[in-house]
Chain A
């Protein structure tokens, strides 16, 4: 299981040799430190905990937890079947990936606030003309009549949108800059600039 933590830096474009434009997201990934190795014996499951970004002020429980590795701001766990090479305090850099690899990227999407059905669920809204009033972005019917006599749970309605954990799968790694810890993937990734991301080798095989 290859994985690393990083921060979104924004988007730009690069040109291929034939002059085709590729939209790319720039990620500052790593360096990360293995802060804990979880095993079947001690934890009941196998995982590696990675830390990202040096921290200065940690509370006592955290500094106790990270005493044997390094003080880190962000900690995330990666489930893995193979712990053979994992060692506490080991550094992980972007060079675990190579251009051409496929990765899944998880982050917190941008918050959209309280959004209506049109924006949140791609409802079509009502007709804009032909004598309609106040129906442009209305959700329409939310259920049948006397039977069942209620609106079903989970019916798509207006509500809070965004600020959720989102994963974009199968993004192609376009370029790697090991010196500056940069990872460039083709396409958009969740969240705003400087939001923390989890980058994993793709689960699906294509």
Chain B
């Protein structure tokens, strides 16, 4: 029995397709007391894991010289949308090596081949 089918879940249609290494913008719902607002988080995907309801992806961004990595559950209703900003080339499935690089070296090249399509 497939436990992922126990509670019917449809993938969020606002999550566009992306690969490891791509630059994406994740819009998350943030609750502040009563109010709910949206917050954007833009960075490179350094991990996509799991299938089914437990899937998550991790986005790394560097802001003001400080790197922040955030992991989002793929099926969480608090993930409002994911927009692909730029196709980028990554030979690794999990480009963790970006952690040991900083500045210009920590950039990934654009994957023009995929962008054209």
Contact = CB atoms under 8 A, between A and B. Distances in A.
Interface string A21-33: 1000010100000
Contact of A15 (B1, B6, B52, B77): B77
B64 to A, nearest CB: 27
Contacts of B29: 19
Interface residues of B, number: 16
A12 B78 contact: no
Contacts of A26: 1, 3, 6
Say what secondary structure dominates the interface of chain A: strand
B1 A19 contact: no
B54 interface: yes
B18 interface: no
A19 B77 contact: yes
Interface in B73-104: 73, 75-79
A100 to B, nearest CB: 16
Contacts of B75: 15
Contacts of B105: none
B113 interface: no
Contact of B76 (A9, A11, A15, A28): A15
Nearest to A16: B77
B116 interface: no
A13 B54 contact: yes
B7 A11 contact: no
Nearest to B78: A19
Contacts of A15: 73, 75-77
A10 B3 contact: yes
A21 B54 CA distance: 10
Interface of B: 1, 3-4, 6-7, 29, 31, 52-54, 73, 75-79
Given A12-B53, A26-B3, 7 more contacts: A12-B3, A13-B53, A19-B73, A19-B78, A19-B79, A28-B1, A175-B7
8 contacts: A12-B3, A12-B4, A12-B53, A17-B77, A19-B73, A19-B76, A26-B6, A184-B7
